[in-house]
Structure 1
Amino acid sequence: MTIKEKQQEIVEEFAFLEDWEQKYEYIIDLGKELPGIPEDKKKEENLIKGCQSKVWIDADFKEGNLYFNADSDGILPKGIVSLLVSIYSGHPTQEILDSDFAFISEIGLQEFLSPSRANGLMAMTKQIKFYAVAFQLKT
């Protein structure tokens, strides 16, 4: 499944949720399913700057694809980063770079978040693109 297809699937799933309380619960449930990252990966270089909570994103490049692992000490940011990991992990760097984050607006996530959490979300998306650029340069 492509990144675009995964994004569309998320948009469709959110469309079935009636209100923001249900959407909030859905995001929290996603976070509960996130395996997290080992303690040794929770280092400064993997910490996302600009997040209200601590959020770590780590990446590995295997067989032409970029794989993300993430964790957070906050329940909502953990759900948000889990959503991003589920969409972008396991894809080639070029596909990640060619993708956009329009689905975030389509599901209304930014309007639902406080300004500081919205800034954190944007910092997470920038980090994903940064990893794609960095690993693309290595190949």
Structure 2
Amino acid sequence: MTLKEKQQEIVQDFAFLEDWEQKYEYIIDLGKELEGLSPEKKTDANLIKGCQSKVWIDADFKDGILYFNADSDGILPKGIISLLVSIYSGHSTQEILDSDFDFISQIGLQEFLSPSRANGLMAMTKQIKFYAVAFQLKK
């Protein structure tokens, strides 16, 4: 499945949810499915700056494909980073760099979040793009 198809699938999933309470529960459930990171991966280098909660993201680059895993000490941020990991993990650096984050506004996520959480979401998306740029340069 392409990155764009994954984004569209998330938009469709959110369209079936009637209100923000259901959307909130869906995001939290996504976080519960996240594998998480081992304690040795929860380093300052993997910590995303700008998040209200602690959020860590780790990336592996194999055969031209980026794989992400993440964790958070907060249930909502863990769900949000899980959503991003499910979309962006398993794609080439170029596909990630060519993608946008329009699906976030399509599902209304930024409007639902407090300003500090919205800033954290932006920090998460920037970190994913940063990894894509860094590994693109290593090719």
Q: TM-score with structure 2 length normalisation?
A: 0.99
> What is the CA–CA distance in structure 1 between the aligned matches of 2:56 and 2:44, rounded to whole Å?
8
> What is the CA–CA distance in structure 1 between the aligned matches of 2:111 and 2:34, rounded to whole Å?
24
Equivalent residue of 2:67, what SS?
strand
Counterparts of 1:1-139 in structure 2 under 5 Å? 1-139=1-139
- Supply the AA of the counterpart residue of 2:38: P
> What is the CA–CA distance in structure 1 between the aligned matches of 2:22 and 2:65, rounded to whole Å?
33
> What is the CA–CA distance in structure 2 between the aligned matches of 1:128 and 1:50, rounded to whole Å?
14
> What is the CA–CA distance in structure 2 between the aligned matches of 1:65 and 1:32, rounded to whole Å?
25
> What is the CA–CA distance in structure 2 between the aligned matches of 1:23 and 1:62, rounded to whole Å?
33
Moved over 2 A (4+): none
- Supply the AA of the counterpart residue of 2:118: A
Deviations 1:88-121 (A, max 9, x none): 0000000000000000000000000000000000
Deviation at 1:64, TM superposition (A): 1.1
> What is the CA–CA distance in structure 2 between the aligned matches of 1:92 and 1:51, rounded to whole Å?
26
Deviation at 1:63, TM superposition (A): 1.3
Q: TM-score with structure 1 length normalisation?
A: 0.99
> What is the CA–CA distance in structure 1 between the aligned matches of 2:115 and 2:45, rounded to whole Å?
24
Percent identity for Structure 1 against Structure 2: 87
Tell me how many residue pairs correspond in the alignment: 139
Aligned-CA RMSD value: 0.3
> What is the CA–CA distance in structure 2 between the aligned matches of 1:87 and 1:97, rounded to whole Å?
13
Unpaired segments ≥5 residues, structure 2: none
